[in-house]
Structure 1
Amino acid sequence: MREKLQLIMKHLRQGSLQKMWKQTIWIYQYGRRYWKSMILYTLLGVMGSCVSLASSLISKDLVDIITGHQTGRLLSTFAAMIGFAIANLLVSQASGYASTFISLKVDSEIKNDIFAKMLVTDWESLTEYHTGDLVTRWSSDASNISSGILNWVPNLIIYTFRFISALAVVLYYDPTFALFALLGIPFSALMSRPLLRRMRNNNQKSAAMNAKMYGFNQEAFSNIQTIKAFDLIHFYTDRLKTLQKDYISMRLEFQRMSILTSVLMSIVGFIVSYSCYGWGIYRVWSNAISYGTMTMFLSLSGTLTSSVNSLTSLIPSAISLTISAGRLMDIVEMPQEDYSQDHAVKLFEKQHKTSGIGLTMKDLSYTYHSGTEVFAHASMEAYPHEIIALVGPSGEGKTTMLRLILSLLRAQSGEFQICAGSDHNQKLNMSPSTRKLFSYVPQGNTMFSGTIAENMRNVKPDATDEEIIEALKLSCAWDFVEKLPNGIQSVVKERGGGFSEGQAQRLSISRALLRKSPILLLDEATSALDVATERKVLKNIMQDTYPRTCIVTTHRPTVLNICTRVYAIRDKRCEVLNEVEIEKMVKEF
């Protein structure tokens, strides 16, 4: 007893129990939404236990009638046994169907809720996790939570009811038999303590290894071209073998523990069963009980043992649940983005839609969580019908600036606001809510699998074919789409497969233009285009009558002379270049 108290105090000092309690409260917040489903599941389980218990009693009467220990109507008892068997089958099937239906519903709702929370989590915090780990947490851990919510408390009630009802019947007919039937309980209690510790460690290792395996596979399959190009096939297959070896070693370790536990529990089960058989035979031989009573005892002893084992198994199940909850809490309890300005932004857009919307930045400073300072007192401005260029060496902050504009990153100080095109004094602070005013074309291929038209309608579901074609013309993509056999219904493969990098870029720009957002951000979005096409795309954007503000980042200065203003990122600031500096950059390119 003293040793047990010391163990509990150790856990308390380490914070394990407080952490598990906090995780349990988090699970409860979801569980209380589905109390009706839990009650239904519990009632079906209790009903099944009642039918099974009644079947055991009827079987006892039937055996006693056949062996002559009891007079009665054989046919009616036999009919009752068949009736309860059918009832047991129906209850079992109904319970299975209801369980599947409720489980799928709860699982989808919880995953949807977790998914939504992940999407509004602070972007910079979220990037600390590998995407494979995020997917594993969202899929496996969320499913574990939904399954646990539906099953754990109802099963606790069902197994307890099954145990108490079976024990009550045994005590009613022969109290001495209960002693043999309950022989396995002390052993199960002793086994639960080491299992509790090892199960928590095993679940944590398993979750981490599954996330690692998923992340490796995801990256490998999405970068097959790079793996082939660098002749890394053997390198990656060897890495996979190493990961698989670690995974197999972990699983075998778990299996060895499971086998040992199973063997010990089976031995105890055999001891209990044969003890019950021996005692039953003795009681029948001494005429203390009938054959029917003995068969009922043997059946109920199995029920008692299985109920105890089931109740014991709920302990590692609870540990698994809290671990899954903790992994999800790591994500969903990170800082959340603030969308409280949604209404104000919609109203601002409606008021200034015809004149356009620009942005202003003054004395902005930003430092990454890692401590790297990117901007210090930087200022810039961009207004409708302007093309603003951001230039500078790689790693100086061009992409970071666009992420700040999109409020994916939050500046530590300074003013960053959208403003009305007609009256620059009418302003609204930048926030996640202002993203609806932007169209963004990042670096790299951002096309999804599907048709060209489906890709376009991702940003504007009600777009007509004519609107799509007009956007394709603005980005110079119609030149090649028009020649395709199926036009805008042509299929785009995963990661833009089937199109060149330059074609995929023009399709991405078309999609951004189709959305008709007040502000367009192009992050090296024309890097795969030839200079003539790049200039033509930017001129089309400038000549478009839509009051659009356009901000581009580029390494190539050949298009700078058609931009309204050019900002060079220098010494953590944004400096406006004059015509002489721009011409010098063009000549030196």
Structure 2
Amino acid sequence: MAQFMPARPAKFVSLPGFYNKIALGARESLPNLAMDIEFRARAIDVRPRNTYFYCSQTNRIDHMSEQSAAPEKPVDERLKNIVLSERQPASGVKPLKALLPFVLHYPVRLGLTALFLLVAAIASLTIPSLIGNIIDEGFVAQNLDVINQYSFVIIAIAGVLALASAARFYFISVIGMRVITDIRRAVFKHLVDMDITFFDTNRTGELISRITSDVGIVRGALDSALPVVLRSSVMLIGAVLMMFVTSPYLATTVIVVIPLLVFPIVWLGRYIRNLSRRQQDRIADLAAMATETFGAIKTIKAFTQEKHRNEEYAGYAEGSYQSEVARLLVRAGMIAFVIFLTATALVALVWVGTQLVLTDQITVGELSQFLIYAMLATGTLTGISEILGTLQTVAGASERITEILATEPTIETPSNPLSFPEPPVGTVKFEDVEFRYLTRQDEPVLNGINLEVKPGETVALVGASGAGKSTLFSLLQRFYDASSGSVKVDGVDVRQADFQQLRQRFAYVEQDSVMFSGTIAENIRFGKPEATDEEVREAAEAALVDDFVSRLEDGYESVVGERGVMLSGGQKQRVAIARALLKDAPILLLDEATSALDAESETKVQAALERLMVGRTTLVIAHRLATIKNADRILVMEDGKVLDEGTHDELIAKGGRYAELAKLQFQQ
């Protein structure tokens, strides 16, 4: 078995990363558990057979296999900036500052919250003073009228306290819910606006964990921890001030003790912060594992790998559990320390206060009043110490959220984009285009591509898988930028164009038809949200969707299920074609658009597509050469280069690679 653990600890971005994430994470945070988890990983043999990662020690993108662990290629700085897992965690609760703009967006509600918080604090701090007066002026003086008067005043103040506390709770809860909603919207929008490279280099489960689990942690803090911290902080300051008003000598004694409580809390809090971040990383691993498993459940069952996946997931879950246990142990120790020290301080305070009463330096009422303030102060401090662990967890979650918001796309719309000509012309031009993926800089996917497609021309792309055909489509829509050369649509360099305007000029049918949860009509209308029902039906009929929809009980309102599980492959392909037909764009991109259709449906859909192609520029990727015999030009691609081009008959006559493919297919 290959040894993956480096001699020195290094930072990794691993896909899928089970071995690195769990064993290395445990080695960093839980040394006593590292060997156990590492042993478990080896015992169930969950090593990644082909693992890509970035090692910060060598500043290289490395590639591990069972045969070799040698680094292969230097890393692109842009890649380091978009791989979330490589980010270095911040210290303390600094990441919480990133949430301030969301909170400060509601100044009126914040002002009302502060007002009611202040009223509630004043009411709470007034009651101990009144109790001291009752003791001195009522019980000691044995004056029942004074006792009755102060009792009614305390009841009235308690009513004010109740109303102010309720109002404070309402406003701060509303702010919390509003802030969480804004964060969710901001994170989701930012993710949707990110370029494709970002999604190529970050696991889907990791992103889902950040937008759900981490946002949920922040929500819990805003619902519970934030109100406690605000109330406790105000009460602590107020209680200390009132202690000085009541007895400066005793107050000074208390102030000396407070640092003994605060410093250990801060020190342990930092440790909790690190453990919390690692725990959230473990949860992200669980989410990524689950997402990958459920997305490939048929394959897992077909290869009878359920047991293997269960064991692998159990390893993730165990690592998450042990990380959480370590964090809870530290929190429990911090709480025990604070409670013991505060109790000891109160006993000492009572002893000193009693001496002052016996020497007539303060009254019994003043001592009682002071003790209540002291208990308020120590109680709030204890509460803050308990909440601090939660805040450290929230800081970790906030950091993982703000890492997304702070990540800039590698591809952006220019500040002053060029406008496309209207009406659309439909020209496409590649000029000496070379392209390399950020993760594979030493492997050109396209090399020296020169291609010009005239308006209304149909150009077919033929070649083996990996020849670069689909990459041409990606560059046209600017999912990626060419490493060198230029890509132009209607005479405009795509790098100088607005994303929305550029992509509105294309109708794209992917090889693997993408369906969204919803109805058939909604999936077709995705190509043109404002389309009428009649337009949807016309597009569906042209793509032969109506043939199978007419047999469904709910017709076009039939739900397709997640990823279109309720439809067959051919049905999904026809819905995707109808979506492209409805968009009615000047340039069609067909990536094996009829690959999932039976022979009869393929013939009909091909006829519909040919009618649609009239007057439109069309680029077709095809492996079935029979579907592109009538193309104006056919480009034969291999290893990112154009080997040959011509019409079907011309290429057959040349007797090259295309002729070989045609002979093989047509004989079959």
TM-score interval, smaller chain: 0.7 to 0.9
User: Are residues 329 and 53 of structure 1, via their aligned partners in 2, closer, same or farther at CA, if it must alter by over 3 Å?
Assistant: closer
2:461 paired with 1:390: yes
Distance 1:547 1:99 in 2: 60
Q: Is residue 103–residue 147 contact of structure 1 (8 Å, CA) maintained in 2?
A: no
Identify which of 103, 111, 124 aligns with 2:197. 124
Q: Is residue 331–residue 386 contact of structure 2 (8 Å, CA) maintained in 1?
A: no
User: Are residues 403 and 491 of structure 1, via their aligned partners in 2, closer, same or farther at CA, if it must alter by over 3 Å?
Assistant: same
Q: Which residue matches 1:377?
A: 448
User: Are residues 16 and 236 of structure 1, via their aligned partners in 2, closer, same or farther at CA, if it must alter by over 3 Å?
Assistant: closer
Q: Which residue matches 1:474?
A: 542
43-52 vs 158-167, greater mean Cα deviation: 158-167
2:349 paired with 1:273: no
2:405 paired with 1:334: no
2:636 paired with 1:568: yes
Q: Is residue 456–residue 468 contact of structure 1 (8 Å, CA) maintained in 2?
A: yes
Q: What amino acid does structure 2 have at the position aligned with 1:178?
A: A
- 1:243-269 per-residue CA deviation (whole Å, 9 max, x = no partner) reads 111111111111111121111111112
- 1:342-367 per-residue CA deviation (whole Å, 9 max, x = no partner) reads 9754x63xx215xx523221211111
Identify which of 418, 429, 436 aligns with 1:367. 436
Q: Is residue 96–residue 399 contact of structure 2 (8 Å, CA) maintained in 1?
A: no
- 1:165-215 per-residue CA deviation (whole Å, 9 max, x = no partner) reads 212222222233325544641322331353144123212202211111111
83-92 vs 62-71, greater mean Cα deviation: 62-71
Q: What amino acid does structure 2 have at the position aligned with 1:224?
A: I
User: Are residues 92 and 459 of structure 1, via their aligned partners in 2, closer, same or farther at CA, if it must alter by over 3 Å?
Assistant: farther
- 1:110-133 per-residue CA deviation (whole Å, 9 max, x = no partner) reads 332232222222321342111111
Distance 1:539 1:20 in 2: 65
372-381 vs 547-556, greater mean Cα deviation: 547-556
- 1:370-414 per-residue CA deviation (whole Å, 9 max, x = no partner) reads 212111110223345443322211122222222111101100222
Distance 1:551 1:22 in 2: 51
User: Are residues 66 and 529 of structure 1, via their aligned partners in 2, closer, same or farther at CA, if it must alter by over 3 Å?
Assistant: same
2:121 paired with 1:52: no
Distance 2:398 2:136 in 1: 53
- 1:279-310 per-residue CA deviation (whole Å, 9 max, x = no partner) reads 44555555554444333222211222234456
Q: Which residue matches 1:173?
A: 246
User: Are residues 32 and 101 of structure 1, via their aligned partners in 2, closer, same or farther at CA, if it must alter by over 3 Å?
Assistant: closer
User: Are residues 485 and 382 of structure 1, via their aligned partners in 2, closer, same or farther at CA, if it must alter by over 3 Å?
Assistant: farther
192-201 vs 390-399, greater mean Cα deviation: 192-201
User: Are residues 160 and 246 of structure 1, via their aligned partners in 2, closer, same or farther at CA, if it must alter by over 3 Å?
Assistant: closer
How far residue 40 of structure 1 moved from its aligned partner, in angstroms, is 3.8
How far residue 330 of structure 1 moved from its aligned partner, in angstroms, is 4.1
Query: Greater share of helix residues, 1 or 2?
Result: 1
How far residue 561 of structure 1 moved from its aligned partner, in angstroms, is 0.5
Q: What amino acid does structure 2 have at the position aligned with 1:484?
A: L
Which residues of 2 match residues 108-507 of structure 1 at below 5 A?
Answer: 108-141=181-214, 159-179=232-252, 181-182=254-255, 184-284=257-357, 288-309=361-382, 323-324=396-397, 326-331=399-404, 332-340=406-414, 344-345=418-419, 348=421, 351-353=422-424, 356-369=425-438, 370-371=440-441, 372-419=443-490, 426-427=491-492, 429=494, 431=497, 432-433=499-500, 434-507=502-575
Q: Secondary structure at the match of 1:568?
A: strand
Distance 2:336 2:319 in 1: 26
Distance 2:94 2:624 in 1: 54
Distance 1:122 1:520 in 2: 22
Distance 2:612 2:527 in 1: 19
How far residue 478 of structure 1 moved from its aligned partner, in angstroms, is 1.4
User: Are residues 253 and 147 of structure 1, via their aligned partners in 2, closer, same or farther at CA, if it must alter by over 3 Å?
Assistant: closer
How far residue 462 of structure 1 moved from its aligned partner, in angstroms, is 2.4
Distance 2:89 2:606 in 1: 61
Q: Is residue 173–residue 223 contact of structure 2 (8 Å, CA) maintained in 1?
A: no
- 1:496-541 per-residue CA deviation (whole Å, 9 max, x = no partner) reads 1221111111112212221222222222332211244234323212
How far residue 101 of structure 1 moved from its aligned partner, in angstroms, is 0.8
2:632 paired with 1:556: no
Distance 1:530 1:382 in 2: 30
Q: Secondary structure at the match of 2:629?
A: helix
TM-score normalized with structure 2 length: 0.76
- 1:213-244 per-residue CA deviation (whole Å, 9 max, x = no partner) reads 11112222233222222222212222222211
Q: Which residue matches 2:151?
A: 78
Q: Is residue 240–residue 251 contact of structure 2 (8 Å, CA) maintained in 1?
A: yes
User: Are residues 266 and 546 of structure 1, via their aligned partners in 2, closer, same or farther at CA, if it must alter by over 3 Å?
Assistant: farther
User: Are residues 398 and 187 of structure 1, via their aligned partners in 2, closer, same or farther at CA, if it must alter by over 3 Å?
Assistant: same
Distance 2:254 2:614 in 1: 83
Pairwise CA RMSD: 3.3
- 1:126-168 per-residue CA deviation (whole Å, 9 max, x = no partner) reads 4211111112223444566788899999987765543332122
Q: What amino acid does structure 2 have at the position aligned with 1:475?
A: A
Distance 1:378 1:240 in 2: 45
Q: Secondary structure at the match of 1:373?
A: coil
177-186 vs 450-459, greater mean Cα deviation: 177-186
Distance 1:192 1:261 in 2: 7
How far residue 586 of structure 1 moved from its aligned partner, in angstroms, is 2.9
Gaps of 5+ in 2: 1-86, 653-657
Number of residue pairs the alignment of both structures matches? 564
Distance 1:224 1:569 in 2: 34
Q: What amino acid does structure 2 have at the position aligned with 1:58?
A: L
Q: What amino acid does structure 2 have at the position aligned with 1:382?
A: V
Q: Which residue matches 1:423?
A: none
TM-score normalized with structure 1 length: 0.85
Q: Which residue matches 2:579?
A: 511
Gaps of 5+ in 1: 1-14, 420-425
Q: Is residue 565–residue 576 contact of structure 1 (8 Å, CA) maintained in 2?
A: yes
Q: What amino acid does structure 1 have at the position aligned with 2:413?
A: Y
